[in-house]
Structure 1
Amino acid sequence: MDADHLSTLIRRINSSYLELSALMTDPAGMDFDRIRPEFERLEEAAAHKGYIDAAFAYAADRAGAGKYVGAVHPVEYLTRALGLSRAEARSRLQRGEALFAPPKPPPQPEGPAEDEAEEQRRRAAETERLHREHQAQRQARDAARKAASAEKQTMITRELAHLNAHCEPSYQQLLALALAEAQHRGLEDLRTWLRGRIREANRRGRTPEGRKDPFAAARKRRLSIGAQDADGGAHVSMYLDAAGLATLQAALAPGRRPGVNASVPAEEDQRPMPARLVDQLMVVVAAYLSSDSAQTRQGVGSVAVSMTAAELKGLEAADRFPATTGHLLGPGDILRLGAARYDLGVLHDDHGRVLHLGRTRRSASLAQRLALFAQELCCTRPGCTVGAGEADIHHIRSWLAGGGTDIENLTILCRSHHSANRDRRDGAGGLGHMDKDPETGRTGWCPPGGGQLEFNDTEFQQHSAGAKIRRHRGKEDPVSGRPSAG
């Protein structure tokens, strides 16, 4: 690729967009009939960016682009350098892999072939299928370059995730067909068309032994929890195999009856059926969390809420407090969880730091985990909002280098940022490391080339008790994270 030519093209595109935006300062005064055809052409031209985005994401993956932002995974590069959401970053990487990564060989049969002739037949079939995969991928790339918008490509990638491992036609073949159809179908029509083809492909699919895959549904089991909305709730979706469905239905069945899990008599229970099922699910989950297994979970699977003593005394209905799960809970939510007035106290100094709790084993104790939650709330890597309940406890000075399991030497890091921490502190691989600010005691990230620590100042992290105390005491500059001049 000619990098100079690429640079010229991008500068030209950027200049054109700036000129175009300047022309649009007064859209009300424009002759719509005259500009309409041109903007339809602009939309057609913009459709090519979906292909370009996927190609660049694949190149970023191949280059290990996470190293350019002090991380390991290319998702981190796409989110931090390009400002994408994690969902969009993952979508581009998936599309890039589908369009450019060498197709994978078909699944292998379980056990040896019955005879040599059968083995030769199987190998010939593998070779033929792999050839079809390569051909389909080339067709998919051509179709993606021509007309498939980024929105259509994202939808196709999302829908193809429902394919079984042994589907027929294969993933690559269906991708090529879908991208070809995208040239003359609208988004919703394309989605309906593709879902029908996916159902048929899964129905026709057979294992290399020629049998229907009995574990196809189990391989696709999943559960996802969306982000909280303005009311504090979130959408939850899941896919279960038949056994999972039966188990869930049996567990929810008692909650279908009026009056069950309700504070009113059956005849006064006006809850719709979906709400009754949710209430029953919460009863099932609460029973597990309150069972004897809590003794062995060491706090994992428990919900802890952080608030200061002053906040507790002046509690108002609109207040929101962070939990270890990474969610914000209101007073009503906390009451429904059955939280006591003071389940655990964590003592802070006037910098918001948790006081020393003593040295333990290599793994942090439950008390230390709760203390770090109270102090830091979430992953301390700048820009991250993964809650303490889904993160690891990291030794700032590594255990192998003699670092102790003391509260001063511990911090919260999510799995992604934990793997991107360079314990040797030499900046190798473009990776930085976590360290303590000697003045404030706050944990920050040191870039691979050294320099001033960078702190996590996300809106979510500002809900931590440590941040609240620092703000209240006026001990910290909101930008640098260092003590203020006053």
Structure 2
Amino acid sequence: MNESGARVLVEQIDQAMTGLAQLLAEPATAHFESLHPIFEDLERILVRKAGIDAAFAWAADMNQAGFKVGSSRTVDYLMQALDLSRAEAMARLRRGKALFDPPAEPEPEPAVDEDAAERERRRVEAQEKAERERKAQAAARGRDAAAEKRAVIDEELRALSPHASPGYNELLDQALVYAQSNAVGLLRHWLREQVRLANREVSRLHEANRAFHRRYVSLSDPDEYGGVRLSGYLPSDMAAMLSEALNPARTTGMEGSELQTFEGMSMGKKRAHILAAMCRNFLNTKTPNLRGVGSIIVSMTMEELENMKVDDVFPTSTGHLLDPFALMRLGEARSDAFVIHAQDGQALYTGTGKRTANLWQRIALFASELVCSHPDCDRPMSDCQVHHIVAAANGGETELANLTNLCWGHHRDNNDNREPVSPFGWADRDPGSGRVGHRKRRDDPVVMNDSPAAQRSGGAKIRKKYAETQEPLFTPA
């Protein structure tokens, strides 16, 4: 079709849309029973526009359309000439690239000490995958899906590894087929599961730094109040640093400090307050600390340390799991702590006579419990307070045997005086295992926290390993 033919079609669409708008100029008087089949057909027809938009965006990119608006970027042309938002313009470019750019030749996964036969097998597999990708891309060009469904497909496929099988184009084609007979919500759940299954067999060597490469932080345009929204994506080590830096518990009692937060502030407002103060301090001093993070604690067993593998992950005091690559990026902060457990899983005792648990006691508690010790709670140590099992007011000492981690909510509800009429129970140490849990009433057993989060602690790993081969880990006094 030549350019004049395209012009005629666009003019016909213009006339048709004008006529339909006139039919509904007075929707209250429109005869709905006659109109609804027509407009249902219209919606099905307009589904094709999303594919046309992607094709035009790709054509614009191939022809350096940005030059038409004084820019080297096609996205600027789409924004100005078609009056699109940046997000929509970028989405159309991504869809066009997925449908029309030739698929890249996949690189076989690296292997160690492979023979010639194995190398040839992997080469053939890579070629077969490339051919499937080309066929799937060609098929996907002929599939229709509404813009909303295409947006869901774009979003979910971003999580697909470039080394996964099925590949991007195969899953794109399958998703477009699925979208024809399923609602948006079902499409999202179905495709997310397909991506998970496709990624499952990918070598950890390929995926070790995937989260790091996807890192970003962005600020939205100001809204009507002048405020902006922050969004982003951080790998686990950066997330742990930010979580600890914005922890309001670190600013408690800092009177006169710009970092001070106040009672009545929500958690979100406290974090915003701290973030603004940190930025102000940095802009005033221009001296960022490049020596490391500090205040982040990592737990591991001696066996894990000596036999560390690329797919190992280690829990932190902020609730994030760090792989060996993230540990290296974390830096060499003088106050970062790596807790190594003895064979019995217990942390070494280090005590002081102070009312507030010192750093080493907090490290020991973290190593043993990792999270709040209340049953089924997964709040990390950064959201917890050190609790005296026997209250200090009742003579309890600040020693490791009398301490546990409780999140703010469970700490507030703890029945310190152990009154029998209280609806709340209290944290207590089980005399058999030595572990701290929750006792509902005086004659009830102590219930421990065996949630998945708690099971990640080094102490829990040790207890599990030696449960059937060693004597009890704790001997009652």
Structure-1-length-normalised TM-score: 0.54
Q: Is 1:215–2:209 an aligned residue pair?
A: yes
CA contact (8 A) 1:220 1:239 kept: yes
Question: How far did 1:258 drift?
Answer: 5.8
Q: Give per-residue Cα distances to partners, 1:271-298, cap 9 Å, x unaligned.
A: 111222222222332332222449xxxx
Q: Report the CA distance shift for 1:252/1:202 in structure 2 as closer, same or farther (over 3 A).
A: farther
Q: Could you say which residue in structure 2 is the equivalent of 1:157?
A: 154
Question: How far did 1:4 drift?
Answer: 3.2
Q: Could you say which residue in structure 2 is the equivalent of 1:240?
A: 234
Distance (whole Å) between structure 2 residues aligned to residue 259 and residue 177 of structure 1: 57
Distance (whole Å) between structure 2 residues aligned to residue 27 and residue 256 of structure 1: 60
Q: Give per-residue Cα distances to partners, 1:144-184, cap 9 Å, x unaligned.
A: 3xxx0122112321332232333333221221122111112
Total equivalences in the alignment:
288
Q: Report the CA distance shift for 1:166/1:183 in structure 2 as closer, same or farther (over 3 A).
A: same
Q: Give per-residue Cα distances to partners, 1:99-124, cap 9 Å, x unaligned.
A: 11101111355599844334322321
SS of residue matched to 1:227: coil
Aligned residue type for 1:245: A
Q: What does 1:227-376 correspond to in 2, within 5 Å?
A: 227-255=221-249, 269-293=263-287
Q: Give per-residue Cα distances to partners, 1:187-246, cap 9 Å, x unaligned.
A: 233223323333333333237xxx562112112212222221112212211211121122
Q: Could you say which residue in structure 2 is the equivalent of 1:95?
A: 95
Q: Report the CA distance shift for 1:204/1:223 in structure 2 as closer, same or farther (over 3 A).
A: farther
CA contact (8 A) 1:256 1:276 kept: no
Distance (whole Å) between structure 2 residues aligned to residue 182 and residue 122 of structure 1: 33
Question: Which of 179, 182, 192 is the matching residue for 2:179?
Answer: 182
Aligned residue type for 1:219: H
CA contact (8 A) 2:108 2:123 kept: no
Distance (whole Å) between structure 1 residues aligned to residue 210 and residue 89 of structure 2: 27
Q: Report the CA distance shift for 1:201/1:112 in structure 2 as closer, same or farther (over 3 A).
A: closer
Distance (whole Å) between structure 2 residues aligned to residue 250 and residue 76 of structure 1: 39
Q: Give per-residue Cα distances to partners, 1:319-356, cap 9 Å, x unaligned.
A: xxxxxxxxxxxxxxxxxxxxxxxxxxxxxxxxxxxxxx
Q: What does 1:437-476 correspond to in 2, within 5 Å?
A: none
CA contact (8 A) 1:103 1:130 kept: yes
Which structure has the larger Rg over C-alpha atoms? Answer: 2
Distance (whole Å) between structure 2 residues aligned to residue 77 and residue 216 of structure 1: 31
Q: Report the CA distance shift for 1:212/1:267 in structure 2 as closer, same or farther (over 3 A).
A: closer
Q: Give per-residue Cα distances to partners, 1:4-36, cap 9 Å, x unaligned.
A: 332222221111112222222211111112211
Question: Which of 193, 200, 203 is the matching residue for 1:203?
Answer: 200
Q: Is 1:51–2:51 an aligned residue pair?
A: yes
SS of residue matched to 1:143: coil
Distance (whole Å) between structure 1 residues aligned to residue 64 and residue 21 of structure 2: 35
CA contact (8 A) 1:69 1:76 kept: yes
Q: Could you say which residue in structure 2 is the equivalent of 1:475?
A: none
Gaps of 5+ in 2: 289-477
Q: Could you say which residue in structure 1 is the equivalent of 2:78?
A: 78
Distance (whole Å) between structure 2 residues aligned to residue 156 and residue 25 of structure 1: 35
Q: Could you say which residue in structure 1 is the equivalent of 2:299?
A: none
Aligned residue type for 1:160: L
Q: Could you say which residue in structure 1 is the equivalent of 2:167?
A: 170
Question: How far did 1:93 drift?
Answer: 0.7
SS of residue matched to 2:207: coil
Aligned residue type for 1:213: E
Distance (whole Å) between structure 1 residues aligned to residue 240 and residue 60 of structure 2: 43
Structure-2-length-normalised TM-score: 0.55
Aligned residue type for 1:215: N
Distance (whole Å) between structure 1 residues aligned to residue 90 and residue 54 of structure 2: 10
Distance (whole Å) between structure 2 residues aligned to residue 286 and residue 41 of structure 1: 57
Q: Could you say which residue in structure 2 is the equivalent of 1:194?
A: 191
Distance (whole Å) between structure 2 residues aligned to residue 45 and residue 269 of structure 1: 57
SS of residue matched to 2:246: helix
Distance (whole Å) between structure 2 residues aligned to residue 155 and residue 241 of structure 1: 23
CA contact (8 A) 1:139 1:176 kept: yes
SS of residue matched to 1:44: helix
Question: How far did 1:250 drift?
Answer: 2.2
Distance (whole Å) between structure 2 residues aligned to residue 136 and residue 89 of structure 1: 24
Deviates more, 1:161-170 or 1:45-54: 161-170
CA contact (8 A) 2:109 2:203 kept: no
SS of residue matched to 1:290: helix
CA contact (8 A) 2:78 2:89 kept: yes
Distance (whole Å) between structure 2 residues aligned to residue 73 and residue 2 of structure 1: 27
SS of residue matched to 1:237: strand
Distance (whole Å) between structure 2 residues aligned to residue 116 and residue 254 of structure 1: 58
Q: Report the CA distance shift for 1:178/1:267 in structure 2 as closer, same or farther (over 3 A).
A: closer
Question: How far did 1:58 drift?
Answer: 0.8
Q: Give per-residue Cα distances to partners, 1:74-113, cap 9 Å, x unaligned.
A: 1122122212122111111110011111011113555998
Distance (whole Å) between structure 2 residues aligned to residue 2 and residue 261 of structure 1: 74
Distance (whole Å) between structure 2 residues aligned to residue 61 and residue 31 of structure 1: 45
Deviates more, 1:44-53 or 1:274-283: 274-283
Higher RCO (C-alpha under 8 Å, 6+ residues apart): 1
Distance (whole Å) between structure 2 residues aligned to residue 84 and residue 289 of structure 1: 35
Question: How far did 1:256 drift?
Answer: 6.5
Q: Report the CA distance shift for 1:26/1:224 in structure 2 as closer, same or farther (over 3 A).
A: same
CA contact (8 A) 1:255 1:261 kept: no
Gaps of 5+ in 1: 295-486
SS of residue matched to 1:104: coil
Q: Give per-residue Cα distances to partners, 1:386-425, cap 9 Å, x unaligned.
A: xxxxxxxxxxxxxxxxxxxxxxxxxxxxxxxxxxxxxxxx
Q: Could you say which residue in structure 1 is the equivalent of 2:132?
A: 132
Aligned residue type for 1:197: Q
